[in-house]
Structure 1
């Protein structure tokens, strides 16, 4: 499977930083991945399709606490922030639609809504794009902002045929206004796994800076088995960074420092993995409710103890078990993975790498099992 979010490139960048002894760069990258800092604007008229889309991106249903309302409750020209309840530094911004009046100056609208502060912008509609919106898109491209996307949101009465007709009309509008190689993504707001949303993620993965692409990936709900696999691969870079820092700390001659740092960082990473893979009780129960299932039918599918609860005791146990198994690990693994100057710290590196990667594999298997059953039941 292609690595959509380019985890291998990020991993190579981290290795180069270690080779150059830039531990601070590796630590900053790890913190960025753990925090998932990213801002995404959703531009368009407020209504049920847009609010459902915003909620689905946050893994919420219309009745959940903090969900975007189906009908506007704020002034139409106001920008409203919707943080992700599990990843508060992933913020979705409900941005008012581009005005339809002519003449129109895109720069004024963009300044008013602070368009350039967003990492990505979704230009949504339930019909064809408005010409003024296309002008905003072209202005953003002239300013080298590549992460602006036209999204056609399916309404309750739309069929696949009607959506394709709307897409065709939208592409004609974009072409007539000078958009080169135009794209319009069809999205069903309540079921993002359908239609073009996975393709949109692929394009965003290529367009966004790598850290931001990883941040988006880790903050999104687990919509498909492919997304679960991509999340698992993204965590490999995070685990490698943590293990590398562990190796660096273990070279410091201060008793117990390495083990304390290892456990603390490991708990943060595995807690992030639990939330990213939607394995916590609240996420599993919400998924069951959205799919019309008994929550017990999904919670019982969590085989790995860390899927249900990440505890310091369990993390310590896994790190200790990995230490004991090091005698069976080939020294070649350490030589290949660690920079030359840091191989003396290879024991701590290998234990951390082995323990965390093993745990994430188990958790991802649980997430895939839950998703498969939930989607199967829904069908």
Structure 2
């Protein structure tokens, strides 16, 4: 998922929009990146493992507000929704298990749970995959929904041998029903950084439309250093888009418009970055509790002011400082980044690009330190 915007040809599209003075197109691109929604569904029996998996995807523990309960408080045949208060563009849905009855009609189940409305569906199980679930998978494929994945959730009592036996048996079920190149991802619900979950994210990110992959990437908790790096690169693409908008607006001779746009958009980007990188107070305290650590230890790793709190004063201060330091920015670099007809706007573009990229780098460095400490890694 590192190259989440690859299919958009984002930079080239923005350059062409600026060159033809289509500022509304640039603004729409920024909004799409800031507010890109995704609906992720999790299918399977409602036990401890599924509840833990759903909570882990949202960065929650079993005792946190809004966490999925086990045993479930939802009726067996109902669909339960789990909104994310920090990321309203990410909505997780708990779907009932695929019936094990025979005969079985996958269309009936899919209609009942509105299967095709979800951007991606994770079909979970803890033992051997049931053939009816494969029927649903095949039906989804026949309807051009490619983002359906089989997830073997590891039980606490499972051994390496028992896990591999379950995976092998499930692959045989898939093969016997005609699934070409079958894949089963092994996931430990309580610690998603283990086993196959990072590989699952890469595959989901490759299969989803880029804007949806972007939304999923930014909404997931910072599970690994690699995920932090991917988030940083995604935010830098967003910064480029916002800086391009700033440069375009600056070309219009309306006093103070550019500076207002700069600080307003910058606030939105950096606030989203703080939440996405899990640097806010609540996220750091929650992570410390999940890892059995003192919150003050993790909080002390935040050396960037913006990691602690994103304020309008700090954002304006950084934008102003970048303006003063423009002499250090290579004019050749600016020329490469901005189309010829928009060079008059290069000062605003370069200032915003420099200020926000520097801030994103600092915040990502703090996130990497926190993840390393929480996972017991050494830099």
For normalisation by structure 1, the TM-score amounts to 0.96
Partner of 1:115: 115
- Please show how residues 262-273 of structure 1 align to structure 2 within 5 Å: 262-273=262-273
Q: Is the 8 A contact 1:38 1:90 kept in 2?
A: yes
- Cα distance in 1 between the residues matched to 2:51 and 2:17: 42
Measure, in 2, the Cα distance between the counterparts of 1:102 and 1:16.
Answer: 57
Deviation at 1:129, TM superposition (A): 1.6
* SS of residue in 2 equivalent to 1:146: coil
The CA RMSD over aligned residues, in Å, is 1.6
- TM-aligned CA deviation for residue 6 of structure 1: 4.6
Task: Spell out, residue by residue over 1:345-375, the C-alpha distance to the aligned partner (whole angstroms, 9 max, x if none).
Answer: 1111110100000000000000000110111
The aligned length equals 377
| Corresponding residue for residue 5 of structure 1 | 4
Q: Distance in 1 between matches of 2:10 and 2:162?
A: 41
- Report the equivalent of 1:45: 45
Q: Distance in 2 between matches of 1:125 and 1:288?
A: 29
Alpha carbons of structure 1 residues 377 and 352: separation in structure 2 relative to 1, 3 Å: closer
> For residues 259 and 21 of structure 1, what CA distance do their matches in structure 2 show?
19
| 8 Å Cα contact 1:5-1:202 kept in structure 2 | no
Contact 1:58 1:85 in 2 (8 A): no
How many Å separate the matches in 1 of 2:128 and 2:26?
Answer: 45
CA displacement, residues 250-274 of structure 1 (integer Å, 9 cap, x when unaligned): 1111100100010000000000000
Per the alignment, do residues 226 and 253 of structure 1 end up closer, same or farther by CA in structure 2, a change over 3 Å counting?
same
Note closer, same or farther for the CA distance 1:92–1:292 as it changes in structure 2 (3 Å cut): same
Name the residue aligned to 2:370.
Answer: 370
Partners of 1:44 and 1:204 lie apart in 2 by: 19
The answer to whether the aligner puts 1:23 opposite 2:23 as a matched pair is yes
Q: Alpha-carbon deviation of 1:278? A: 0.2
**Structure 1 position 377, deviation (Å):** 8.0
| 2:36–2:215 contact (8 Å) kept in structure 1 | yes
Report the counterpart of residue 104 of structure 2 in structure 1. Answer: 104
- Deviation for aligned residue 1:305: 0.2
- CA positional deviation for 1:16: 4.6
Distance 2:162 2:13 in 1: 45
Indicate the larger mover: 305-314 or 21-30: 21-30
Does structure 1 retain, via aligned residues, the 8 Å contact 2:152–2:167?
yes
> Within 1, Cα distance between the matches of 2:248 and 2:306?
27
Contact 2:232 2:361 in 1 (8 A): yes
Query: Matches of 2:196 and 2:297 in 1, distance apart?
Result: 30
**3-state DSSP class of the match of 2:122?**
strand
Distance 1:277 1:112, change over 3 A: same
Residues 100 and 369 of structure 1: CA distance in aligned 2, closer, same or farther (over 3 Å): same
Question: 1:124 corresponds to which residue?
Answer: 124
Relative to the length of structure 2, the TM-score reads 0.96
Give 1:32 shift: 2.5
Q: Is the counterpart of residue 289 in structure 1 residue 289 in structure 2? A: yes
Inter-CA distance 15–125: structure 2 relative to 1 (3 Å threshold) = farther
Q: Which runs of 5+ in 2 are unaligned?
A: none
Superposition map of 1:202-351 within 5 A: 202-351=202-351
> How far 1:29 sits from its partner (Å)?
2.7
Structure 1 gap ranges (5+) = none
Matched-pair contact (CA < 8 Å) for 1:29–1:211: no
Aligned to 1:166: 166
CA distance in 2 between counterparts of 1:38 and 1:17 reads 27
